[in-house]
Copies of this chain bind each other. A is one copy, B any other.
Amino acid sequence: MEIGNMVKAAILGYGVVGSGVAELLTGTGTGRSKKADELIELKYILDLRSFPDSPLTKYFVQDYAVIEADPEVNVVVETIGGVGAALDFTERALRAGKSVVTSNKELVATHGRRLLDLAAEHGAVYLFEASVGGGIPILRPLSECMAANDILEICGILNGTANYIFTRMVQDGVPFAQALKGAQANGYAEQDPTADVEGHDTCRKLCILSSIAFGWHVLPDQVATQGITQITLEDEAYAADCGHRIKLLGRAIQEQDGTLCAYVEPHFVSIQDPLGGVEDVFNAIKVKGDATGDVMFYGRGAGKLPTASAVVADVIAAARKMERAGYRPWQANRPASVRGPEGLPSRWYVRLAEGSLSGGELLKRSGAPAGERAYLTPALTRPALEEQLAGQKVLSIIRVLD
């Protein structure tokens, strides 16, 4: 298409993000994007529900075929989520030569490579800046601005809900279950919080970051993923004693032998580390390039308007320069090239109900029961640690980020 032409857009799914995009494109609600105004005209919103009283009611359609068959629609915004209808509609849009912009991390993490290829075949683009880090610009900087670097490591706080829970535990002294309830009451956690607290959401975002950074598709089921449901206030107290905070991190480390060590785990993070000071629903992503060293991106990782604004920026990018706006294609997945963190030596936080551990630094907390001991160990692998702990009554083990 010609640069400078008005783009006509359709939004699929009128949930939190989809309604935010509609607000930014139409100037209804609180948000409005002046820059989008000049370039993008909303034509349809697809939803199975009807909204007769909405100021946007004229946009609603219930049949995707209307959008698919309308040659005027050249950008489709997919904010349905999941890998069902979202996948079907995305494929059909791309095959019709329509560009697709999404915030759907599950779909990109699982089918991203194929959809990027499909977009390229049909002269369209598939853009998904909003799928990682909400309104934080990270995918485009990673793919374009750091293009002269070989990426050595990605390490990030990628899930705002998990980070909010940790912040409430530390600042308010409430245990995990209660902090989770508070997150749900504040709208930060879904009623089914599994994806957030079991690490799946972090895992998907790590896969998208890794696929862009390393150039080949890393799949979620290749990434060893551990959640935060086992973290207790006692662990937080010991972390504070040694100047650390507990954070759920997604990490991908390029190894010398060409494999990728990728995993999701809670970590002790020093408060001296820029990641250690990230509180509440904020996200932060640290990228280590061989030339540029550590670079960090920080901001609100979720929320209606931040995420919607990232979607709209992608729609603008698609409008401005269509076929040149895309990410580079990803090479195929390498089944044997992703490994877990078993071989990665780290210091460890270990809490024992009784007994002791030689060679570690002893930690303190007030109110500890008689016999409880907690340590920071020297650097060693997890299997070596477990060998040392054989026969002990272990309450907690958490990796330290060094």
Contact = CB atoms under 8 A, between A and B. Distances in A.
Oligomer copy total: 2
A308 B296 contact: no
B294 A299 contact: yes
Nearest to A140: B145
A147 B292 contact: no
A149 B291 contact: no
Interface stretch (A224-232, A310-318, A330-338): A310-318
A141 interface: yes
A296 B295 contact: no
Interface stretch (A31-39, A57-65, A386-394): A31-39
Interface string A314-325: 011100110010
A243 interface: no
Given A135-B291, A140-B141, A148 B296 contact: no
B320 A291 contact: no
A146 interface: yes
Contacts of A303: 293
Given A24-B291, A309-B289, A36 B148 contact: yes
Contacts of A3: 324
Contacts of A309: 146, 148-149, 289, 291-292
Nearest to A272: B277
Contacts of A150: 33-34
B295 A299 contact: yes
Q: How big is chain A's contact interface, by range?
A: 35 or more
Contact of A277 (B129, B277, B293, B294): B277
A191 B306 CA distance: 44
B293 A300 contact: yes
A141 B317 CA distance: 12
Contact of A137 (B36, B135, B146, B308): B146
Kindly list the 9 A-B residue pairs having the minimum CB-CB distance in the complex, ordered from nearest: A137-B145, A135-B292, A291-B309, A148-B312, A137-B141, A295-B299, A296-B298, A321-B324, A148-B309
Given A137-B144, A140-B140, A298-B298, 12 more contacts: A33-B149, A33-B150, A144-B313, A148-B309, A148-B310, A148-B316, A291-B308, A292-B309, A293-B303, A295-B299, A295-B300, A297-B297
5 contacts: A33-B150, A134-B292, A147-B312, A289-B309, A292-B306
